[in-house]
Every structure is written in structure tokens, then in C-alpha cells.
A and B are shown apart, each in its own frame.
Chain A
Amino acid sequence: MIIGALQFPPIENVVEWPAWFGEGQAYAFNKIAFINLLASIITIVIFAIAGSKKQLVPRGVQNIAEVSVQFVRNEVIAPGIGHGGERYLPMLLSMFFFLFFSNITGIIPLFNMPATARMATPIVLALLAWVWFIGVGLKHHGIHYITGALFPPGVPKPLYLLVTPIEFVSTFLVRPFSLAVRLFANMLAGHILLVTFSVLCITLWGFKPLVAALPLSLFMLIALTGFEVLVAFLQAYIFTILTAVYIGGALHPEH
């Protein structure tokens, strides 16, 4: 797309990546798949190194792993699930790290693409969260979890005509999509902003009459890159804590 002197790349060039192998197959491996796999491997390496060290005063990688465990325990599980939430630590910790590393590649040179700016990663984790919280509810409360969610106690019976469809849509249909779309949209927007200012910088560099505006564009690019670090962390945290809140709601529906 050409706007004035600017030539924006087509959207497929910004978000679509060709397969490195297995083209046309279900196992086709592209940059997004590589980032997802790398996010898992980096997390595993961090915890493998941390687990091999038994220092009384943790440093380096051990410190990162232990602080992240404490963070998920205290800032995700404790407020989101409460009592009995410790058993969900492996999943929520994996989710947080997987999302953070899938997000942060958006600002790492040579990657320059968050895997979560594609819908696949968010929708997989959102569907997992959806299956998980419904499974937790059914496991602990049986069918009463569904009936309790659809027919909240204390509501006058005629109002169930209005409340039950709303509860069904909000609790069982919208949650996974809101989780997935929030993450995907934020990361895609950040990615497009970075692409936009990168293209602007390149264009201004080659367009002498407006080269004076280059520092401003470069400043915006650097500022947005810094902002994307915050967004990468924040979106991973939001996704994880919302999953914890949904699980907590299924585990303790009376709250």
C-alpha cells in the first residue's frame, strides 16, 4: 500500500510467514512455530539450570526462576484462585512464561514478530483455559457448577429468562474469545505500530526534504519498543491472572 511517499507492506507480509518445511502440511513449520517452540525451550532451560543450582542465596538464572515462581504464586494464584490454587502452579507458570517469551520476540532483532500477534497461540491457550476452568468446576461441584452458574441463587425465577442466557454467553462462550482477542489484538497492534514507525524511519532516511523529521520518528520507534516490553509482560500477566480467576471462580463458585 502506498500513501504519499510511504510504502507500507501488505498485511500478509507483516503477519504471515512462509513455512521452513512441511509446506501445505498440518505440521508446516514457520517462524511463528519456531518462536512458540523457542519460548518453551527457553523456559525449560531456565528451570533446568535453576533446578541444578541449590544456592542458599539464589543468583542469576536461579533467582529469575524463583522470583517468577513467587510472582505467580503471590500475584496470580493467591488473588485469582486462593485456597487450593497451588496445584495449578505448573500450568499457570508455564502459561506465563510461554506467553511472555512469545510476546517479547516482537522487539528482539531478527525475530521482530510476536507469536501472539497471530491468532493460533492465543486461541490455543484460551481454549485450554476454557476447558480447564469448566473441568475444574465439574470435577469439584459436578453438574451443580453449570446449574449454579446459569441459575444464580437468589434471583427471582422470572428473571432467569433474562439472566440465564446472559450468564451462558458471558461465562461459557465469551470468556475464551475475550482472552484470545485481547492478547492477539494488543500484540498485533503493537507489532503494526513498530512496523509503521520502522517504515517511516526508512522512508524519511531516503527522503531528504523531510529527513529532519527522522529523529522524531526514531524516538517514537524506540519509545514504542520500550513500551512493547511492558505490553509483553502485562499481556502475559493479564492472560494468566484471568485464567486463574476463571479457575478460582469454578473452584469456589460461592465467592
Chain B
Amino acid sequence: MLAAALLLAAEEAKKTVNPILPVTEEIVWAAASFFLLWMLMRYVFLAPVMRVMDDREGRLREARAEADSASSGADDAVAAYNARVDVARAEANGIVAAARDEAERYRARKLAEANAEIQAQREAAAAEVAAAKATALAQLRTQVAGVAVSAASRVVQKDLALEAQLQVIEDYVNGSNEGGTR
């Protein structure tokens, strides 16, 4: 009776499922499936994918290097262009400066010529004025001496020799002028 009860209990326990505990055959298949996958991935199937990815990476790296190189070449071309522009600009500035100097020299020359001409004209005019002035003074002096001699003749009631008196006056004036400048 007891043996039968124990047998029944054992059978019942065998039937009772513990959902937590792992089952041997599932462990075997899980391990086999995973190891199969792992080995095939490691030695067969992952390498081609990695190779494609590495190739692409390499191509991208090369393309990037080429792009950098092209960019560097473009920078060099821009630098050369800028250098040529600078040279041309410097040349143009030189030409402009030379032209400006030439114009300045031309202007100075013309100005000097004009000033010289004005000076010459001024001197000629001054000489002419001085000559006219001297002539006028001489005439005035003669007329004044004549009036003075005539007045003196009337004062002394005697004809005075005009020429001699004029010489006297001339000498006086000259002497007075010399004394005045002394």
C-alpha cells in the first residue's frame, strides 16, 4: 500500500512541471544552435560583410583624401591667382604713381614757366613804369626849375641865366639827395 502510494507520488512529481528549471534537451539544442551560429559567423559569414564595410571605409577614406587634395590644389590655384592679382595691382599702382609724378612734374614745370613769364612781364612793366616815372620827374624837375628861376628872376628883377640856374638847382638837388641818403 505504502509502496503503491510512494510510486503514485513519484509519478505525480514526475508529471509536475517546474517552469523555471531548464530542460536537458532544450539546453542541448540551445547550445548546439548557438555554437553553430557563432562558429559559422566567426569563420564564414561575418568576414565578407566586414570586408565590404572595410572596402567602403577605404574608398571613403581615399575619396576624402582626393577631395582634400583637390581642395588643396584649388587653394594653391587661388593663392597663385591672388599673387598674380597682387603683382598686377602693384604694377598698376606703380604706373599710376609714375603718371602722377610725371603730371606733377609737368604741372610744376608749367607753373614755373608761367611764374617766370609773369615775373618777366612784371619786371618789364616795372621798368616801363620806372622809365616813365623818371621821364616825368625829369620833365617835372625842368618845369619846376624853370618856374623857380622865372620866379627868382621876378624877385630879383633880373634875368637869370636859365641854363646856369638849372645846373645850380640840379647840383643842389643832387647834393641834397646825397646828403639825404647819408
Chain A interface (Cβ < 8 Å from any Cβ of B): 11-12, 14-16, 19, 22, 25-30, 32-33, 36-37, 39-40, 43-44, 47-48, 50-54, 56, 58, 62, 65-66, 69, 89-91, 93-95, 97-98, 115, 118-121, 123-125, 128, 184, 188
Q: Which residues on the A side are within 8 Å of B56 (C-beta)?
A: 56
19 pairs, A vs B, C-beta closer than 8 Å: A11-B19, A25-B25, A32-B30, A33-B30, A47-B49, A50-B52, A51-B47, A51-B49, A54-B52, A56-B59, A62-B52, A66-B49, A69-B53, A94-B41, A119-B21, A119-B22, A120-B27, A124-B30, A124-B34
User: Which A residues are CB-close (under 8 A) to B23?
Assistant: 118, 120
User: Closest residue of chain A to B34, judged by CB?
Assistant: A98
Given contacts A44-B41, A51-B49, contact A37 B33 (CB under 8 A): yes
CA distance A95 to B21 in the complex (A): 22
Across the interface, A43 reaches (CB within 8 A) one of B26, B29, B41, B55, namely B41
| Residue among B27, B38, B52 making CB contact with A51, cutoff 8 Å | B52
Chain B contacts for A16, CB-based, 8 A = 17, 19
In the complex, how many angstroms separate the beta carbon of A43 from the nearest chain B beta carbon?
6
Cβ–Cβ < 8 Å partners of A128 in chain B: 34
Q: How far is the CB of B37 from chain A (nearest CB, A)?
A: 4
**In the assembled complex, how far is the CB of residue B71 from the closest CB belonging to chain A, in whole angstroms?**
22
B residues with a Cβ closer than 8 A to A are 17, 19-31, 33-34, 36-38, 40-42, 45-50, 52-53, 55-56, 59
CA distance A119 to B22 in the complex (A): 5
- Secondary structure call for the B interface: helix
Known contacts A32-B29, A69-B49, A40 near B34 by CB under 8 Å? yes
CB atoms of A40 and B49 under 8 A apart = no
B29 touches A36 (CB 8 A): yes
In the complex, what's the smallest C-beta–C-beta distance from B170 to chain A, in angstroms? 126
In the complex, residue of chain B having the shortest beta-carbon distance to the beta carbon of A55 = B52
Do A26 and B38 touch across chains, with their CB atoms under 8 A apart?
Answer: no
A28 CA to B41 CA, complexed, in Å: 26
A23 nearest CB neighbor, chain B only: B25
If A32-B26, A91-B42, A120-B26 are given as contacts, then 10 extra A-B residue pairs at C-beta distance below 8 Å, sorted by A number, are: A11-B19, A28-B25, A40-B36, A44-B41, A50-B48, A53-B52, A89-B46, A97-B37, A120-B22, A124-B27
The answer to whether B28 and A36 have CB atoms under 8 Å apart is no
Per CB-CB distance, the 6 closest pairs between chain A and chain B, nearest first, are A51-B48, A120-B26, A33-B29, A40-B37, A90-B42, A47-B45
Known A26-B28, A54-B52: A47·B41 in contact at CB below 8 Å: yes
Q: Which of A12, A58, A121 contacts B19 (CB 8 A)?
A: A12
Alpha-carbon distance between A123 and B21 when the two chains are bound, in angstroms = 10
Instruction: Check if B37 sits within 8 Å of A11, measured CB to CB.
Output: no
- A19 touching B37, Cβ below 8 Å: no
Q: Are B22 and A94 in contact (CB under 8 A)?
A: no
Closest to B15 in A: A12
Which of chain A's residues have a CB closer than 8 A to the CB of B29? Answer: 27, 29, 32-33, 36-37, 120
Which residues of chain A are near B17, meaning CB under 8 Å? 11-12, 15-16
Q: Contact at B30–A90, with CB atoms within 8 Å?
A: no
Q: Which of B27, B33, B42 contacts A123 (CB 8 A)?
A: B27
A115 to chain B, nearest CB (A): 7
Given contacts A51-B48, A118-B22, whether A94 and B37 have CB atoms under 8 Å apart is yes
